[in-house]
Amino acid sequence: MKQLRVLSLPYLVWMVIFIVVPIIMVAFFAFTTSDGNFTIDNISNVGQYANIFVHSIWLALIATAICLVLSYPVAFYLSRMEKHKQGTMLMIVMLPMWMNFLLRTYAWMTLLGNNGIINYLLGLIGLGPFKLINTSGAVVLGMVYNYLPFMILPLYSVMQKIDKSVIEAARDLGCNPVKVMFRVIVPLSLPGIVSGITMVFVPAISTFIISRMLGGGSNLLIGDLIEMQFLGNAYDPHLGAAIALVLMVIILAIMTVMNQFSPDDQVLI
Amino acid sequence: MKRLGKIYMALIIFFLYVPIFVLIVFSFNESKSRSVFSGFTLEWYERLFNNSIIMSSLVNTLIIAVIASIISTILGTLAAIGINSMRKVPKSIVMNITNIPVINPEIVTGVSLMLLFVFFAARMNMEFGFVTLVIAHITFDVPYVILNIMPKFKQMDPHLFEAAQDLGCSPFTAFRKVILPEIMPGIISGFLMAFTYSLDDFVISYFTCGATSQTLPITIYSMTRRKISPEINALSTLIFVVVVVILIAKNIIENRQAKKNTVYKGGRA
C-alpha cells in the first residue's frame, strides 16, 4: 500500500497553502501592527468588546438550549417510528434546511416585520402592534429556526441505534417511563447530544447574517464585529484577526469541555 | 402518549414550514405588502427571469459549484487513498488539519482565506473574483469528500490491493478494479455533498468574492439589504420546488434500491 501514499501529495500541498497558511496568517495578523511589528494591542483591544462577546455567547447558549429541548422529543419520536416511515419523516423534517439560510432568515424578516403578517393577524384581534423584529428574541428565533435540523440529525442517528430491548429490559426491571428516559435513553444518546450542541453552538455564536437581518443595530454579535473589520467601515484586519483568534480559542475550549462528556466507548450500543 | 407525540411533531413541522409557505403565498401577491394578499399575479416571476443580475449570478454559482466539486472530488479521492495508506501519526495529523475547515466557524475560514488572497493580490497580479471563489470552494469542499470516503476503507480488506498485484495486475489496474469500486459510494456522496455546499455557501464566498464575481447567495444577500422586493419570494418558491422534486426523486430511488437489496438477499438465503 506504501506506493499509494504519493497520491495524497496534491492534496497535502493544497492543504498546507489553503488551510494551514491562512490560519497562521490570522494568528500573524492578530499579533502585528500594519507595519509588521509585533504587538499585543490587537488582542488586548478585543477586551473592549467584552460585552459583545458575552451577548453572543449568551444568545448562542439560549438558542442551543432551545434547540436541544425542542429536538429531543422529535428525534426520539422519529427513532421509534416504524423503520420504513422513518426515512420519509426525516426527509420532511430536514427539507427546509435545503433552502439557502439567507432565504429562511428573510422569511422571518417578512413575518416579524412591523408591517408583517404576525402583527397584522394580531391586529385583527385587537392586539399589538408589537416590536418583534430588531430584538434579541428575533435573533434567537432565527438561530433556532436555522439550526434546529443540526440538532435533530445527530440526536436521531444515535437514538436510532438504541436497542429496543434495552428499553424493554429497563421497564421489566421496574423503571417507570421517566426513569427509562433519564437513566437509559439520555445516557445512551449523550454522544448525539454533544455533537448536536457543537453543531448548533458554533454557527450560532459566529453568525453575522441572522443578527443583521433580524437583530437590527442593537444586537451586534462577534460575527458582525469580525465582518466589520474586514469588509465594513471599521476596516482593520489586524483587530479582525485578533477577534477571530479569540473566537477560535473560545470554541476550542468549549468543544474540549464538551468532548469530556462523550467518551468513545459510549457509542457502542 | 402516542397522540401527544403526533401533535408535537405536527407543531414542529408547522414551525419549520410556515415561514416558507408564507414566502410562497406572497410571491403571487399583486402588491408589495407583506401582510395583506391583494390579488394574484405572476409579475414577480417575470421580473425575476428578466433580472440579469440574478440570472448571471445563478449561472456563476452553477459553474463554480460544478468546477469546485469536480476538482475537490478528484483531489479528495486521491488524498483519501493516500492518507489511508499512511502510518498512524502522519495520518492523524493530516486528518486533524483536514477537520479544521469543518469545525472552524465559516467566518473564520472566510477571513483566513481572504487574508491569504489579499497577500497574493498584493504581490502577484491576481484579483479577487472567479479564481479566488473556486479556490475557496475547493478548500472547504475537499474535507467533506475525504470524510465521506475514509470510512469505506474500514470495510475493505487492505490485502486485496496487494493480492491483485500479485496476481498480475498493474498498480493502476489494481486500483481501478479493486479499490475504486469499494470506495465509489463514498466518492459519490462526497461529490454530492461538495456540490450542494458549494451551491449553498454564502459566508466564505462573501469574504473571497471581491466586487466582480457574484454568486446567487451573495446576490440574495444584497437584495435583502435593499428595499422589499417580492422577487426574492418568487426565487424562494422556485428553489423550494426544485429541492422538493430532487428530494422526492432521491427518496424514491433509495426506496427502490432498498427493496431490490432485500429481494436479492432474500433470494440468497
State whether the Cα torsion B153-B157-B162-B166 is positive or negative: negative
Per DSSP, A5 falls in state G
Mean pLDDT confidence for A205-216: 92
Cβ contacts of B16 on chain A, cutoff 8 Å: 93, 95-96, 145, 148
Cell of A268: 457502542
pLDDT recorded at residue A105: 93
In a domain, B19, yes or no: no
Q: Do B106 and A203 touch (CB under 8 A)?
A: yes
Q: Do A248 and B36 touch (CB under 8 A)?
A: no
Chain B residue with the nearest C-alpha to that of A106: B224
Whether B10 contacts chain A with CB within 8 A: no
Q: Do B78 and A117 touch (CB under 8 A)?
A: no
- Total number of residues shown for chain B: 269
Residues A146, A67: Cα–Cα separation, whole Å: 10
Q: Would you put residue B98 in left (φ > 0), alpha (ψ -120 to 50) or beta?
A: alpha
Chain A residue with the nearest C-alpha to that of B112: A22
What is the least distance, in Å, from the CA of A116 to any CA of chain B? 5
Domain that holds residue B68: 52-226
In a domain, A8, yes or no: no
In a domain, A37, yes or no: no
Cell of A61: 447558549
Counting the structural domains of chain B, the total is 1
In a domain, B94, yes or no: yes
Residue B29, beta-bridge partner list: B40
Burial A89-121 (b: 16+ CB within 10 A, else e): bbbebbbbbbbbbbbbbbbbbbbbbeebbbbbe
pLDDT recorded at residue B176: 87
Q: Chain A interface, mutation test: which of B112, B120, B139, B225, most A Cβ atoms within 10 Å? A: B112
**CATH classification of the domain holding A147:** 1.10.3720.10
Query: Taking the mean position of all CA atoms in its chain, how far away is CA A117?
Result: 28
In a domain, A209, yes or no: yes
**Single-letter residue type at A143:** M
Mean pLDDT confidence for A14-40: 94
Whether A95 contacts chain B with CB within 8 A: yes
φ, ψ of residue A32 to 5 degrees: the values are -130, 160
Which carries the bigger pLDDT value, residue A264 or residue B120? B120
Residues B136, B190: Cα–Cα separation, whole Å: 17
Cβ contacts of B22 on chain A, cutoff 8 Å: 107, 110-111, 117
Per-residue confidence at A1, pLDDT binned at 50, 70, 90? low
pLDDT recorded at residue A266: 41
Residues B169, B191: Cα–Cα separation, whole Å: 28
Q: Which residues of chain B carry a pLDDT beneath 70? A: 1, 227-228, 262-269
pLDDT for B126-182, tens place per residue?
A: 788 899 999 999 999 999 999 999 999 888 887 888 888 889 888 888 888 888 998
Residues B170, B131: Cα–Cα separation, whole Å: 37
Share of chain A above pLDDT 70, in %: 97
Residues B191, B198: Cα–Cα separation, whole Å: 10
**Cβ atoms of residues B41 and B48 within 8 Å:** no
Reply yes or no on whether the pLDDT at A94 is more than 60: yes
Cell of B42: 405572476
Cell of B214: 457574484
pLDDT recorded at residue B264: 57
**Cβ atoms of residues B218 and B172 within 8 Å:** no
Q: Chain A interface, mutation test: which of B13, B14, B16, most A Cβ atoms within 10 Å? A: B16
Burial class (CB in 10 A: 0-12, 13-18, 19+), B241: exposed
pLDDT recorded at residue B268: 44
Burial B191-200 (b: 16+ CB within 10 A, else e): bbbbbbbbbb
pLDDT recorded at residue B262: 67
Cell of B65: 459549484
B 205-244 near A (Cβ less than 8 A): 206-207, 216-217, 220-221, 224, 232-233, 235-236, 239-240, 243-244
> Among candidates A51, A107, A24, which has minimal Cα distance to B224?
A107
Residues B46, B249: Cα–Cα separation, whole Å: 28
> Among candidates A230, A26, A150, A53, which has minimal Cα distance to B100?
A26
* Helices of type H across chain B: 2-26, 43-50, 52-84, 88-103, 106-123, 130-154, 159-166, 171-174, 180-200, 203-208, 216-225, 231-268
Domain that holds residue A86: 51-219
Counting the structural domains of chain A, the total is 1
What is the least distance, in Å, from the CA of B22 to any CA of chain A? 8
Mean pLDDT confidence for A12-26: 96
pLDDT recorded at residue B38: 84
Residues A239, A247: Cα–Cα separation, whole Å: 12
What is the least distance, in Å, from the CA of B185 to any CA of chain A? 19
In a domain, B256, yes or no: no
**Cβ atoms of residues B70 and A146 within 8 Å:** no
pLDDT recorded at residue B75: 97
Cell of A192: 448525539
Cell of A219: 444586537
Reply yes or no on whether the pLDDT at A263 is more than 80: no
**CATH classification of the domain holding B88:** 1.10.3720.10
Reply yes or no on whether the pLDDT at A268 is more than 50: no
What is the least distance, in Å, from the CA of B268 to any CA of chain A? 22
Q: Chain B interface, mutation test: which of A117, A210, A238, A247, most B Cβ atoms within 10 Å? A: A117
In a domain, A240, yes or no: no
Reply yes or no on whether the pLDDT at A81 is more than 50: yes
Residues B10, A116: Cα–Cα separation, whole Å: 24
B 49-68 near A (Cβ less than 8 A): none
Q: Do B220 and A100 touch (CB under 8 A)?
A: yes
The angle formed by the CA atoms of residues B212, B217 and B221, to the nearest 5 degrees, is 85
In a domain, B6, yes or no: no
Per DSSP, B85 falls in state T
Residues A232, B268: Cα–Cα separation, whole Å: 65
How many A/B residue pairs have CB atoms within 8 Å? 216
Whether A233 contacts chain B with CB within 8 A: no
Maximal C-alpha separation, chain A: 76
Q: Do B12 and A100 touch (CB under 8 A)?
A: no
In a domain, A109, yes or no: yes
Residues B160, B96: Cα–Cα separation, whole Å: 28
Whether A102 contacts chain B with CB within 8 A: yes
In a domain, A226, yes or no: no
pLDDT for A145-204, tens place per residue?
A: 999 999 999 999 999 998 888 888 988 998 888 888 888 889 999 999 999 999 999 999
> Among candidates A16, A159, A206, A261, which has minimal Cα distance to B98?
A16
Q: Do B79 and A7 touch (CB under 8 A)?
A: yes
Q: What's the whole-number average pLDDT of chain A?
A: 90
Strands (DSSP E) found in A4-45: none
What is the least distance, in Å, from the CA of B67 to any CA of chain A? 16
In a domain, B14, yes or no: no
Burial class (CB in 10 A: 0-12, 13-18, 19+), B218: buried
Cell of A145: 429556526
Specify the DSSP element, H or E, that contains B77: helix B52-84
pLDDT recorded at residue A52: 95
Per-residue confidence at A265, pLDDT binned at 50, 70, 90? very low
In a domain, B41, yes or no: no
Reply yes or no on whether the pLDDT at A125 is more than 90: no
Per-residue confidence at A206, pLDDT binned at 50, 70, 90? very high
Max mean pLDDT among A20-24, A34-38, B153-157, B241-245 falls in: A20-24
In a domain, A102, yes or no: yes
Residue with the three cell numbers 490570522: A26
pLDDT recorded at residue B266: 47
Q: Do B76 and A21 touch (CB under 8 A)?
A: no
In a domain, B264, yes or no: no
In a domain, A186, yes or no: yes
